Structure 1
Amino acid sequence: MRRGLAAGFAVVLAALVTVSLMGISPPAPVPASAAPTAFSAERAMAHLAAISSRPHPIGSQEHTDVREYLLGQLRSLGVEPTVQRATTNRQTNFGEVRNVHARIAGRASTGTVLLVAHYDSTPKGPGAADGGAGVAAILEAARALLSGPRPRNDVDILFTDGKEAGQLGAQAFTAANLLDPRRTVVLNFDAKGTSGPSTLVETGRASSWLLPSLSEVDRPLAWSFTAPLRRIAPEESDFAVFRRANFPGLSFAITEDTARNHTGADTLAAVSPGSVQDHGDKALSLAKSLGDKDFAEYRRGASTYFTALGALLSYPNWLVVPLAVLAAVLFVAVVWVAARRRGARLGAIGLAASTFVLPVVVTNALAHLAWLLLKRIKPDYAHIGTGTTYHPELYQAGLLVLSLVLTVVWYLRVRRWWSTEEVVLGVWAWLTVLSSVCAFLVTGAAYVTTLPLIFGCVAVLAAFRWGGNDPFWSRMAFAAASLPAAVVMVPLVDFTSRGLAFAGPPLVAAGVLAATALPLLDLLRPRRPTLLPIGAAVLAVALVVAGSVLDRVDHDNPRQTSLIYAMEADVGKAFWISYDPDPLPWTARHVGGTEDAELAVLAEDATPGSLLSYKGGRASLAAVEAPRVTVLRSYRDNGQDAAVLRLQVLSGGAQRVSVYAETAEHTILDATVQDVRMGKLTRSLLSRDPWNWGFSFIGVPADGIEVELRVRGSGQLPLRLVGHRYGLPSVPELRPMPEDVVFSARPGNLTVVSRTQRMDLAPR
């Protein structure tokens, strides 16, 4: 009877884990035959096909073509778009951007719902998912919205420019003060992968006010631990710019199949229509819901939130610390009662807590070793800059089983020395510490350990109160913490968005989740308990081997490479540069490991401050023009010990130009670029001296840019000019790229041309 109860408990736990995992998936795509007021992924994919046939980075003709398509589609919907043309900067990155902005006027507006996606791509791929999927979803959502009754509030559409160049378009839009943050909600749609659900990854300052609308959405996948994690390991998005400008809002992203992100493999064929459907369902539903809200009732306030069995649950953040305190108090109470009723020893609990570190550390070490071995066995994996593979699912399953194996082995070992209560309380001690630390430092993540701990402690205290001294009920109660843990920790265990190279935190979560259920081993009493970890270890190895066999590179899952052409115009020398650890044959024929001082200079020009190792080889000279600068005016301020240089910088056909000044004998006091003030720069841009001042400008106009420098010093000021062109030049040794090879997320598909000029400063 009791063994049957324990088995039933295990079945329920397994069902919770399974349902939680299955819930992290996108919906089925809706066909074009759906009602006009419904969002259809098939209709959205037609837009995606039109805008993602080729790379369209800022400043390219393809980029202009995409913008014209968007303007035409918005006009066909009956709204009149405008193009915000602006020069803006984020620190030392400048650019000329063209944001596309349109408004669906509300019936009696009290505020604005702003739908945002970026329409530029990287130069290495067509950006079908990043960020074409968001653009296509918003276009189709706008069509569906206009097919029904107009919402009360304005619904604005913003396709930002220059996101891949440093969120320049979002910066320009917020700087222009076109919308009031107190009467605007931003809904941002982006991607770092090509498949998976549209997940809420970040919120603004009013999540408490917005979450009820999100709860009405089908599949409201949202976990508040994602936002602080993105800020610990920064993943800059347009939404981050809006958030810093005090706009409330929600940011969604497609986060699976990350091996294609920022590569030539981010194509239309790779994008999951279900992911686009999920993006669009959320955009349309939230536009309707928030579009009918009274923005006069807008209130700031942050909440902790998470999706549990398909429902979005939340509570205000002011409860986080009290709940953590409650969890700690309950834990102390359980320890005290366990000591009195079950003879639990504080020393044993402490030793159990300290030894629990071992399976966590060993799991992470083995995961790291497995990734290193996989890269040795399949060198193509090392070329993928995101630290994962095209199909990592079997690898991930194997690592998760490995985490379970090591946790069970640890438990079987320590149970020889300490009681079930002592071992589990050692694990719960870590939950208590994590709950308290997160409550103060990572508020949005505190619920992951706080809620299972509170639930488990209450269950144990109830068992001690009404179960008498029967160890069966206390052990069942200790295992009860695994039920909420299965709901709140499974999203942490799913590490498809982080890749195999970043498997550590998910494996820790998996180990903790498994540890909360360990008392079931004592209740189920398997006849040969050692067979469980042995069988699981065999399964883990089988999954990894199967992953290695099935996860192949081919035309649909191409090899990835990095290749840059860099030329020093002053001396007439050129090199090929690759950041591949072990270049593919197509790449290797250009780079042979040249160690040349001039190569080091050009590698620094190509990717300033990069810590990536590179290989190089001599290249033929290409017929490409270098940037140049002319002096428009040179004078000295009256009574000031500073020379003023007014310069015109011509890119020579490059889409991006960088200007560096030698500061060994001069100091740049101030600067303006296209009349945008830069100010004094004290931090080095390049890793080599003396070029310690500079800026980059992307989207250079045909007539160049004007720069004004205030310089302390005399004589000539050396300037180094670096032009970045999209694509590789036509030189004899360059052969067409094989069909099964694309450019990776590492620097590549660029032609970099550098020159140095000396500017005469006005005499004192």
Structure 2
Amino acid sequence: MKKFSAVISLLLILGLVYFSFYSLMPRSGTSATISETKFSTQRAIVPLKEISKAPHYVGSAEHERVRMYLIDQLRALGMQVEEQSGFVLQTEGKSLVKPTNILARIPGSGSGKALLLLSHYDSAKVPSYGASDAGSGVVTILESLRAYLAGGATPKNDIIILFSDSEELGLDGAVLFVKEHPWAKDVALVLNFEARGSGGPSNMILETNQGNANLIKAFAEAKSEYPVASSLMYSIYKMLPNDTDSTVFREEGDIDSFFFAFIDDHFDYHTANDTVENLNENTLQHQGSYLLPLLQYFADADLASLKSNQDHVYVNFPFLKLIHYPFSWILSMLLIAIAGFFILLFYGMMKGRITGAAIGKGFIALVVGLIACGVLGYFGWQLLLVLYPQYNEIQHGFTYNGHTYIAFFVLLSLAILFAIYRKWGKKQEAAGLFVAPLTIWLVINTVIFLYLKGAAYFIIPVFFALLSFWMLIKQERPHLLLLTLLATPALFFFSPLIQFFPVGLGLEMLVISCVFTVLTFGLLVPVFHFYSKKRLLAIVCLVVAIGFFISAHLSSDFSETRQKPNSLVYYQNADDNTAYWVTYDHLLDPWTKGYLGESPTEASTFISNAAGSKYNTGYSFAAEAPEKDIASFEIQLKQDTLIGNERNVSFTLVPKRKIHQLLLFADTTHVFKKLVFNGKNVAPDSTGYAFGTRDHNGLLRYFLANNEPLEVSYVSNSPSVEFTALEYSFDLLEHPQFSIHKRTKNMMPKPFVVTDAIVVKRSFNIDSLPARNVDSVSYQIQVPYE
């Protein structure tokens, strides 16, 4: 009977772990035949296929086609559509771009604030088809609007639709709207839909400058069917450098946002695999399951009442949907838990059910487990990078077999834990062994109260653990299934978290998964203590872990479904008439070796400037290439005036071929009293100068939307300024002067870098320009007053 109870208990634990994932999102999409007032995944996929036919980054022909298609889609819903376009200069990132936003508005019957539905329609530059990021967000809005309007309701609040542009280049469309569009002052709340992968549940995250209490209450009242949200993610997100359009609304307009993003299958993010075929339909359905009820709720809600000075702890939970309570409860709950622990500890010691030896061995077992599994997670992944160097080519850190590795490390950690507790807990009372996990969890919750209040829901499993503690003290043989059920909150809360960190932050975070596995195991000690076959469980976990490792090994190479990201750039130096093939790759393949050779040179030998990337990746190797007749820009000098020791210069760089990006450099020794790009002034910094505290030579990264020239004006004390410009066109594979072999099916363009590009470097000095190019020149020598 005892063995039977243990088997049922183990199966129940496995079932609860499975359900903790199963309950997070819809299990299927919806057909095109469901009610017109319902969100249909199949209906949403129709426009998504049109949007993601090809990469549609800013400046591409596809970008223009997608914009016109979306305008037609909004007009088909009966809306008047307008475009907003203008240059945006981001001084922090030294970038300039001209986004074109798509806007529509549904008038409400009231006179209050407006609700804004937001997603961006540009794809990541060069390789990505943008089906998930953020075509999925765009079609979620289109389909939800169609379903909402099909119901015939008239909203109380105005509903503004914004398909922002140039999100991938620096959130520029959102900046343009918030700072320059008159509708921005009407907006009280934003619902933003994003993606950082191609599958998995969509997470709700808040962006607010105030407390979240009223926002969370409203979100709960809207009754989304599958809420996935926690104040832990909210707290962590607030501490990180944020980079979504919602951030712009919060920072520039003090406008609150809910934004919804899925992050699983992270290996597809910004790659050529961000396609309709790879987008999980259940994930798209999850996005729709958020927006339609939220749209129906906030269309008639009092949007002016959402601001609050209070914060709530919140977390999703199966069946209950969303648990939330004020931050003011955290300390009381913590003190009650601590008091309850010490009362039970004293009671157990008085009853003789808890001994000092059992407590000591419990601490030894837990600490050894934490150290062993922590070392396993940290150094294990470092070892795998040595054994499989190809993993380093996947810059965002989540490999195609990443989920298999998570299972391997978790199961190996469980094998270690079962082995440890078999040795240290064999003859000890369960109550004594349980003191260590309870102590650790109370310490963790104390630290949470002091530094990370958003994780304060961690105290909820502790209360259930205290009930288990009481049962262990009161009964020599407590009911095993009841103990298992008391562990339910721990399994529901922490099982998804164990997977979340490496999925969201990269496999280097496997160490967190291993540590969380130990901590969660600790809360289940009252259950596992009564398993007589811990050695068998350790062996089973080890064998299954080895099976996952073998599976990961067999899928460690690149294939047609697990493509190797690679890169190739043609770099021409117009100053010395040299040219090079360059790459960002550290592990060359036959395709790149076809241009760089078997033994390429370190790129820094020839090239000092690279476009850079999200992950600060520079060129790795270079090899000499044939020089091509690639047209460089024309320089048109408009003004050159010298007054005293101040030189006022204006010139224009006019592209002579289709380019997508232009980088402008000047030595840091040159100080600019004034600097203007395409009519946008660079605001003086703390030194009183434009970019007065530059730590590198970069002045500007200009993303060309329609091949528009770059107009530069500056005032400087430098008698002569030497500029260097890099022109990038993303057409290496199609350019008539090149015959680049197609990648094989097991390769794809490397994301996050500028690849498949032609780069021309050229330096110039205004003094060296022919006089005929100068429209206005005057030199006035002024003697300072003495």
TM norm structure 2? 0.87
Q: Which residue of 2 aligns with 1:280?
A: 288
Q: Closer, same or farther in 2 for the Cα pair 1:613/1:540, shift >3 Å?
A: farther
Q: Which residue of 2 aligns with 1:61?
A: 61
Q: What is the Cα deviation at residue 375 of structure 1?
A: 5.3
Match for residue 305 of structure 2 among 297, 319, 336: 297
> Is the counterpart of residue 390 in structure 1 residue 395 in structure 2?
no
Q: Which residue of 1 aligns with 2:136?
A: 133
Could you tell me how far apart the structure 2 residues matched to 1:329 and 1:244 are?
42
Match for residue 104 of structure 1 among 103, 106, 118: 106
Q: Closer, same or farther in 2 for the Cα pair 1:240/1:325, shift >3 Å?
A: farther
Q: What is the Cα deviation at residue 380 of structure 1?
A: 4.8
Query: Structure 1 stretch 79-88 or stretch 217-226: which is displaced more?
Result: 217-226
Q: What is the Cα deviation at residue 290 of structure 1?
A: 1.0
The residue identity in structure 2 corresponding to 1:432 is L
**8 Å contact 1:43–1:140 — kept in the other structure?**
yes
Q: What is the Cα deviation at residue 357 of structure 1?
A: 4.4
Match for residue 428 of structure 1 among 421, 438, 457: 438
Which consecutive unaligned segments of at least 5 residues does structure 2 have? 768-776, 782-786
> Is the counterpart of residue 584 in structure 1 residue 589 in structure 2?
yes
**8 Å contact 2:582–2:619 — kept in the other structure?**
no
**8 Å contact 2:353–2:432 — kept in the other structure?**
no
Match for residue 317 of structure 1 among 315, 327, 338: 327
Q: Which residue of 2 aligns with 1:502?
A: 509
Match for residue 599 of structure 1 among 582, 606, 630: 606
Could you tell me how far apart the structure 1 residues matched to 2:749 and 2:482 are?
54
Q: What is the Cα deviation at residue 558 of structure 1?
A: 2.7
**8 Å contact 1:388–1:499 — kept in the other structure?**
yes
Could you tell me how far apart the structure 2 residues matched to 1:744 and 1:199 are?
27
Match for residue 166 of structure 1 among 145, 164, 170: 170
Q: What is the Cα deviation at residue 655 of structure 1?
A: 1.7
The residue identity in structure 2 corresponding to 1:749 is D
Could you tell me how far apart the structure 1 residues matched to 2:286 and 2:499 are?
19
Could you tell me how far apart the structure 2 residues matched to 1:390 and 1:376 are?
17
| Aligned pairs (5 A) from 1:676-755 | 676-680=680-684, 691-699=696-704, 701-713=706-718, 715-728=719-732, 730=735, 731-732=737-738, 734-747=740-753, 748-755=755-762
Q: Which residue of 1 aligns with 2:315?
A: 306
> Is the counterpart of residue 483 in structure 1 residue 488 in structure 2?
yes
The residue identity in structure 2 corresponding to 1:581 is H
Q: What is the Cα deviation at residue 609 of structure 1?
A: 9.2
Q: Closer, same or farther in 2 for the Cα pair 1:732/1:648, shift >3 Å?
A: closer
Q: Which residue of 1 aligns with 2:414?
A: 404
Instruction: Please give the per-residue CA displacement for 1:3-45, whole angstroms capped at 9, x wherever unaligned.
Output: 7666655554433222112113444111222222111111111
Could you tell me how far apart the structure 2 residues matched to 1:13 and 1:196 are?
22
Q: Which residue of 1 aligns with 2:771?
A: none
**8 Å contact 1:581–1:614 — kept in the other structure?**
yes
Q: What is the Cα deviation at residue 48 of structure 1?
A: 0.9
Q: Secondary structure at the match of 1:268?
A: coil
**8 Å contact 2:434–2:469 — kept in the other structure?**
no
Q: Closer, same or farther in 2 for the Cα pair 1:326/1:718, shift >3 Å?
A: farther
Query: Structure 1 stretch 693-702 or stretch 278-287: which is displaced more?
Result: 693-702
Q: What is the Cα deviation at residue 627 of structure 1?
A: 4.2
Match for residue 238 of structure 1 among 234, 240, 245: 245
Q: What is the Cα deviation at residue 535 of structure 1?
A: 2.0
Match for residue 568 of structure 2 among 549, 552, 563: 563
Q: Closer, same or farther in 2 for the Cα pair 1:690/1:390, shift >3 Å?
A: closer
> Is the counterpart of residue 616 in structure 1 residue 625 in structure 2?
no
The residue identity in structure 2 corresponding to 1:286 is L
Instruction: Please give the per-residue CA displacement for 1:463-487, whole angstroms capped at 9, x wherever unaligned.
Output: 65xx2xx444499998776332112
> Is the counterpart of residue 660 in structure 1 residue 660 in structure 2?
no
Match for residue 447 of structure 2 among 432, 437, 445: 437
Q: Closer, same or farther in 2 for the Cα pair 1:402/1:763, shift >3 Å?
A: farther
**8 Å contact 1:479–1:518 — kept in the other structure?**
no
Q: Closer, same or farther in 2 for the Cα pair 1:347/1:163, shift >3 Å?
A: farther
Could you tell me how far apart the structure 2 residues matched to 1:679 and 1:685 are?
6
Instruction: Please give the per-residue CA displacement for 1:189-227, whole angstroms capped at 9, x wherever unaligned.
Output: 111111222221444346433334544112112222223
Query: Structure 1 stretch 265-274 or stretch 44-53: which is displaced more?
Result: 265-274
Could you tell me how far apart the structure 2 residues matched to 1:58 and 1:14 are?
48
Could you tell me how far apart the structure 2 residues matched to 1:57 and 1:711 are?
35
Query: Structure 1 stretch 137-146 or stretch 489-498: which is displaced more?
Result: 489-498
Q: Closer, same or farther in 2 for the Cα pair 1:576/1:332, shift >3 Å?
A: farther
Instruction: Please give the per-residue CA displacement for 1:598-642, whole angstroms capped at 9, x wherever unaligned.
Output: 53414x35559935571222222233333454432233568xx64
Instruction: Please give the per-residue CA displacement for 1:125-183, whole angstroms capped at 9, x wherever unaligned.
Output: 21111111111111111211221122221221111111111111112222226346785
Q: Which residue of 1 aligns with 2:261?
A: 253
Could you tell me how far apart the structure 2 residues matched to 1:420 and 1:97 are?
64
Q: Closer, same or farther in 2 for the Cα pair 1:181/1:443, shift >3 Å?
A: farther
Match for residue 572 of structure 1 among 571, 577, 580: 577
Q: Secondary structure at the match of 1:408?
A: helix
The residue identity in structure 2 corresponding to 1:48 is L
Q: Closer, same or farther in 2 for the Cα pair 1:344/1:568, shift >3 Å?
A: farther
TM norm structure 1? 0.89
**8 Å contact 1:26–1:196 — kept in the other structure?**
no
**8 Å contact 1:265–1:557 — kept in the other structure?**
no
Q: Which residue of 2 aligns with 1:190?
A: 194
Could you tell me how far apart the structure 2 residues matched to 1:440 and 1:536 are?
37
**8 Å contact 2:636–2:652 — kept in the other structure?**
yes
Could you tell me how far apart the structure 1 residues matched to 2:98 and 2:114 are?
26
Could you tell me how far apart the structure 2 residues matched to 1:384 and 1:685 are?
37
Could you tell me how far apart the structure 1 residues matched to 2:532 and 2:601 are?
64
**8 Å contact 1:137–1:280 — kept in the other structure?**
yes
Count of residues in Structure 1 that have an aligned counterpart in Structure 2:
751
Could you tell me how far apart the structure 2 residues matched to 1:596 and 1:536 are?
47
**8 Å contact 2:81–2:102 — kept in the other structure?**
yes
Q: What is the Cα deviation at residue 588 of structure 1?
A: 2.2
The residue identity in structure 2 corresponding to 1:61 is A
Q: Secondary structure at the match of 2:100?
A: strand
**8 Å contact 2:395–2:615 — kept in the other structure?**
no
Q: Closer, same or farther in 2 for the Cα pair 1:98/1:420, shift >3 Å?
A: same
Could you tell me how far apart the structure 2 residues matched to 1:583 and 1:225 are?
41
The residue identity in structure 1 corresponding to 2:169 is A
Q: Which residue of 1 aligns with 2:784?
A: none
Could you tell me how far apart the structure 1 residues matched to 2:62 and 2:739 are?
27
Q: Secondary structure at the match of 1:734?
A: coil
Match for residue 144 of structure 1 among 147, 155, 162: 147
The residue identity in structure 2 corresponding to 1:456 is A
Could you tell me how far apart the structure 2 residues matched to 1:218 and 1:406 are?
38
Could you tell me how far apart the structure 1 residues matched to 2:108 and 2:281 are?
30
Q: Closer, same or farther in 2 for the Cα pair 1:283/1:478, shift >3 Å?
A: closer
In angstroms, what is the RMSD of aligned CA positions? 3.3
Could you tell me how far apart the structure 1 residues matched to 2:360 and 2:238 are?
33
Which consecutive unaligned segments of at least 5 residues does structure 1 have? none
Could you tell me how far apart the structure 1 residues matched to 2:406 and 2:345 are?
36
Query: Structure 1 stretch 546-555 or stretch 101-110: which is displaced more?
Result: 546-555
Could you tell me how far apart the structure 1 residues matched to 2:631 and 2:613 are?
19
